[in-house]
Amino acid sequence: MLILASNSPRRREILSQLGLEFEVEPSRFEEKGEGLTARETVLAFARGKAEDVFSRHPNDVVLGADTVVCLGGNILGKPEDEADAARMLRLLSGRMHEVFTGVCVLSSGFCGEEVVATKVFFHPLEEDLIAAYVKSGLPLDKAGAYGIQDGFPLVEHIEGSYTNVVGLPEETVRALLSRIGGTKW
């Protein structure tokens, strides 16, 4: 059985779209990563989440993932409140940033890990758009205070994986799962 070590609705949706059967068990891993780069952070957190759930399900396949938004070397996590969300959107306005997702797949005898990076280019954002988006409540549970899939005209274009920006790079997940022998991935 595949177990997703996350309660993220976006990750659940991506796995469902891949046609995979899975269960969800959110990890109890405590995310602490001061002093790490964005790449190191997402990989450490994805591994920590997967290891936590795998310790309780050693006969299953566990998928852990973590996503951050990185602007100029600074990680933008989830906003604390509406004012913080608006601040982050102003920082991203008219600029390029990177979205990093660490993916870790664990099973008996297998540990596969990868970090995927996507460049995201934002339109210059008007204050009215920022205010409407923040008022919608959509940015409050997302790294960098935005979701590319939310239907607001924030992103001009991307270079890389769209599903990575959503929160789980489907191409990478499929590739890692395919490396586990004797399974139906």
Tokens 């664990």 belong to 106
Residue 92's CB is within 10 A of a number of other CB atoms, namely 24
Three-class SS state of 81: coil
In sequence order, what E strands does 25-147 have?
A: 61-71, 74-76, 96-107, 110-122
Q: Which of 72, 93, 73, 94 is nearest to 145 (CA)?
A: 93
The CA distance from 133 to 142, in Å, is 13
The CA distance from 90 to 39, in Å, is 24
Q: Which of 52, 60, 66, 150 is catalytic?
A: 66
Task: Judge whether 141 counts as a catalytic residue.
Answer: no
- Catalytic positions are 66
